[in-house]
Amino acid sequence: MTSSPSTPPAVPGTPAKVRRPLVAATAGVIGLALGVTAATAWSAPADPGAPSFATNERGQTYGSALGAEVDPDLILAYGVDGKLGYVRTTDLDGPTPASPEEALTTQREMQASGGRTIPLYAVDGVTVIGRFKVGFGGRVEIPASGP
């Protein structure tokens, strides 16, 4: 007996009415198994392009925030004296204004004063090694020595 592409080959002793549902069920199970396998294989990290930050002894992440969608706890920065260290993300962000009016007042104060300074830390996140200026606008200057 010849079988066409749409007709499954005959299995001896199996009526034609049973073959079609049996073949369809088997194909469904195989398809489901392949789908689960593919989903598992492709579900590794949520964002494989996300940077992987190092962690210090206190469990804080640290490194450069350039190109990162999520900042590390300690961001690599140059202090006002050109020293390389880290600033805490929370210090850099500052307090969250309670209202739009408070945000505008803070912005005006920052503009009038030229900014504020926050501690520059060693990689341990505890030892203060200098100061970092959080300014209002302006430009970033990197010392000639560079990292």
39: helix, coil or strand?
Answer: helix
Q: How large is the C-alpha radius of gyration of the chain? A: 31
Q: Each residue of 116-142: pLDDT tens digit?
A: 899 999 999 999 999 999 876 554 455
Residue 111 C-beta-side C-alpha neighbours within 13 Å: 6
Higher-confidence position of 51 and 29: 51
Q: What is the DSSP letter of 46?
A: S
Mean pLDDT rounded to a whole number for the chain: 73
Choice between 2 and 24, residue whose per-residue pLDDT is larger:
2
Contacts of residue 91, defined as CB under 8 A and 6 or more positions apart, other chains included, come to 118, 119
- Per-residue burial over 66-96, b if 16 or more Cβ lie within 10 Å, else e, is eeeeebbbbbbbbbeeeebbbbbbebeeeee
Domain borders along the chain are 11-44, 54-134
Residues 6+ apart with CB under 8 A from 34: none
**Shortest CA distance to 62 belongs to which of 129, 128, 142, 123?**
123
Could you tell me what percent of the chain has a pLDDT over 90? 35
